[in-house]
Amino acid sequence: MKKQKDKLIEISKPGDILKPYRNTPIGLLLEYHNLNRSLDDYSTAQLLVGMCMDNRKHLHIPDNFAFIIRTGGANLRYSEFKVSYAISVGGVRHIALIAHSNCGMVNLISRKNIFINGLVEEAGWDKDTAEDHFAHFAPMFEIGNEIDFILSEAKRLRLRYPRISVAPMYYKVEDNRLYLIKEE
């Protein structure tokens, strides 16, 4: 099995963008964010970006360029109506799914006590309710490995929306750059 970092495609020049994404909104996203392309003017969204709610990530893109759904781990399973809205009403034909390094939705069980204690101390919950909340929702939001999850989510969305281009990407918090993910 390849190391996870070996699955990343660095985008340092336009030619690094995979052919299916060149001259598309996905390619433009990579050019704006990684290659400092001058920001164009948009009146309507060109794509949907699904990315994590993590505060360490910020995309360098023009205003009105993209619908953005931020959820833990870029998990769009519970945001599908919003995805459908962006496609049907918003007219987007491209989705960029962006995982990131050091995601908090990986190995959630390791944060169980912090999670429960935080709800008790910060939100005023009783411990039993906080424990039940974690036990109920953690399995729904645990993503396992970031890259493998985004690849499986891209596959799921392609099956659900067969006419929509879905690009799995990775945001390295360490260098604030986007990478395409190699698919087998």
**Count of positions (residues) in the chain:** 184
Catalogue all structural domains in the chain, each as residue range(s) with its CATH number. Answer: 4-106+144-181 (3.40.1050.10), 108-142 (no CATH)
Assign 1 a pLDDT band (cuts: 50, 70, 90): very low
Cα torsion for 152, 28, 94, 168, to the nearest 10°? 0
Burial 135-149 (b: 16+ CB within 10 A, else e): eeeeeeebbeebbeb
DSSP state letter for 37: P
Q: pLDDT digit string (tens) for 86-125?
A: 999 999 999 999 999 999 999 999 999 999 999 999 999 9
- Res. 2: pLDDT tops 80: no
What is the predicted pLDDT for the residue at 181? 97
